[in-house]
Amino acid sequence: MSNDLTFNLFPKQKKAMLSKADCLLYGGAAGGGKSFVASITSIYFAYNQPNLQVYIFRKTCPAIDATFLSGSASFQILLEPLIKSGHVKINYSKRQIAFSNGSMIHLSHCATKKDLDKYQGSAIGLLIIDEAGQFEESIYTYLKSRLRIAHEIRPEFKDVLPKVLLTSNPDGVGLSWLKRTFVNFCPDDKIKKYKSEFTESRQFIRSKLSDNPHLRDTDYAEQLKGMGSPELVAAYLNGDWNVSLNSFFGNSFTNDNIRDPFQIPIGWKKYRMFDWGYSSPFSVLWMAESDGTLASHKGKQINSRRGDIFIWAEYYGDDNGTEKGLKLTAEQIANKTMAFEELMRGSLYAGAIQAGAADTSIWNAESNGVSIEATMRKHKCTFVQANKAPGSRVLGWQKIIEMFTMAKNPMRESGGLFIFNNCHRLIGHIREAPRDDKKLEDIDTNSHDHDLDCLRYGVMMKKKSFKARQF
């Protein structure tokens, strides 16, 4: 950098700043130096590449001001020598930092899709999103589509710019797409190419609190240790991406709620539940209610309590893990669902499967005058109307938490809730479900909640029969 401007990044930060990946996620622990690397990366490129347009996003303006325009790591302090020498000017009202070489750092916010209109005409050379977990995937995709450099790029940056740097805690409404796009796709900090209609290289650098020497010897770690469950502390300290910091179901859902598949005894009631989706995913879940009779798996007896609920199969209608709908017709979904049911017969269940609860909207007539429900019923895929009374959403989540918790009590007096380990998507969505930060007793509806809705319809359906019974 300039002779006047020296920063000592620690090794992981340096690796992140100089990465040649098109898109990089630097993420994990709280206090892992994420926002700092965002600031220094923006300065490094703006200073060294003339005319570069750098955009740093946070969700809200107060978050920008608190992170980038106040405190000892604010831009005005980091850039002090250049401000003094007249090479940099900060316009606080516009939240813009202008460099004398024509480069600009825009400190921007984007809380909802409506805010995107402001960036329609923008050409972004370096896109940085700090706390990307707070952003919906569609906002990320849109901002990424603004990446473009029309001016000359210096030779040393030709295979580096334009690029994206994301930072995040394992948290928020964006947790699911961050995990899918980075954490699971390129888990070992190597650059990996993603090929579909376009090709992009991706990298994930896991940040831990212990990487940051500036907080290592403080009592910051001790403060975090007091913040809650061991899982939560692991997420804060080590950036454990299997734990969501504001996970709605939190500790109520653990490995004890996950079961190896077994054949559902013939006497147990079995249901299929449904949540419709076309451009967004649809979800079918199969549920069974134990009557207390023994089940068995590979010669081993499986005990259950009368009233226990098992979700034993799922059919999640998205395009290859993308959370984009398959755009199937009602007839296609019904046929595929029934074919799937036939495939599972004998191995997972015997006997009949009954109509379970589905979102009431499928009873509405479509443009051809026929409802989705009627079309599906014609193909033997039947449902009953889910309880959608006012307040049923929150009541349903409470019931699920109650049953997850109850499942861990061997002396339980009412049913527990268990999920077979073949229901991968449902398990992922339960773990990742973010709390609505405006309505704390609810799940953020911008998250992937189709199969969670389905689960809720099922659990609410049999509300009475789950009440305490004599064993």
Ligand X SMILES: Nc1ncnc2c1ncn2[C@@H]1O[C@H](COP(=O)(O)OP(=O)(O)OP(=O)(O)O)[C@@H](O)[C@H]1O
Which residues here bind ligand X, judged by CB under 6 A?
8-10, 13, 30-36, 73, 169, 212, 214-215
The rounded distance, in Å, linking the Cα atoms of 174 and 68 is 22
Show the tokens assigned to 79. 């850039």
Q: Which is nearer to ligand X, 209 or 419 (CB)?
A: 209
∠ CA 367-369-372, nearest 5°, is: 80
Instruction: Give which of 126, 117, 128 is closest to 149, Cα–Cα.
Output: 126
- Residue 163 binds which entry of Mg ion, ligand X, none, CB below 5-8 Å type-dependent: none
Question: What track of x and - describes contact with Mg ion for positions 17 through 46 (by CB under 5 A)?
Answer: -----------------xx-----------
Q: Is 212 helix (H, G, I), strand (E, B) or coil?
A: coil
58 binds, among ligand X, Mg ion, none (CB under 5 to 8 A by kind): none
Q: Which C-beta is closer to ligand X: that of 145 or that of 223?
A: 223
Nearest CB to ligand X, comparing residues 162 and 172? 172
Strand, coil or helix: what is 259? Answer: strand
Question: Kindly report the CA angle at 442 between 287 and 417, in degrees rounded to 5?
Answer: 25
Give the chain's count of helices (H) and strands (E): 15, 18
Indicate which of ligand X, Mg ion, none lies near residue 214 (CB less than 5 to 8 Å, by partner kind): ligand X
- Give the shortest CB-416-to-Mg ion separation in angstroms: 39
Residue 169 binding target from Mg ion, ligand X, none, CB below 5 to 8 Å by type: ligand X
Give backbone dihedrals phi and psi of 341, rounded to 5 degrees, phi first: -60, -40
Supply 64's token pair: 């920008």
Q: Is 45 or 466 the residue whose CB approaches ligand X more closely?
A: 45
User: Closest approach of Cβ 92 to ligand X, in Å?
Assistant: 20
Instruction: Compute the distance between CA of residue 75 and CA of residue 312 in angstroms, rounded to an integer.
Output: 53
30 vs 376 by CB, closer to ligand X = 30
Instruction: Report H helices in 217-319.
Output: 220-225, 230-238
- Identify what 399 binds: Mg ion, ligand X, none; CB under 5 to 8 Å per kind: none
Q: By CB under 5 A, is residue 13 in contact with Mg ion?
A: no
H/E stretch holding 455: helix 450-461
Of the pair 30, 426, the CB lying nearest ligand X is at 30
Residues 404-443 within binding reach of Mg ion (CB under 5 A): none
**Residues near Mg ion, by CB under 5 A:** 34-35
